[in-house]
Amino acid sequence: MFFPISDAGKSLEQIAKAKAICAGCPVWRECLASALRTQQVHGIWGGMTEEERAIARQRVIGEERHPAAPLAFLRG
């Protein structure tokens, strides 16, 4: 369920279940930060899909250019 084969059909149910598990996980921030740092391109990490992490990576790049723009979802 953490590595769905697509983003349509039955996989949407798997994605939702994986995200629900992540939502209750005490280390989701660390998981997500690790996935972003190591550029994971497959699976659900820290409650985010590949596409969501790609957007987050762009935000991280933007923050590095503009340090005054914090990433609240990683810092809690």
The pLDDT profile of the chain, 76 residues, written as one tens digit per residue, is: 999 998 889 999 999 999 999 999 999 999 998 998 898 989 999 999 999 999 888 876 665 555 555 555 565 5
The confidence score (pLDDT) of residue 62 equals 63
- The token duo for 34 is 């690790």
Q: Is residue 4 part of a domain?
A: no
Count of domains in the chain? 1
Who contacts 43 (Cβ-Cβ below 8 Å, separation ≥6)? 2, 3, 50
Q: Is residue 5 part of a domain?
A: no
Domain that holds residue 27: 10-75
Euclidean distance between CA atoms 50 and 23, whole angstroms:
17
Q: Is residue 2 part of a domain?
A: no
Q: Is residue 45 part of a domain?
A: yes
- The token duo for 9 is 């059909």
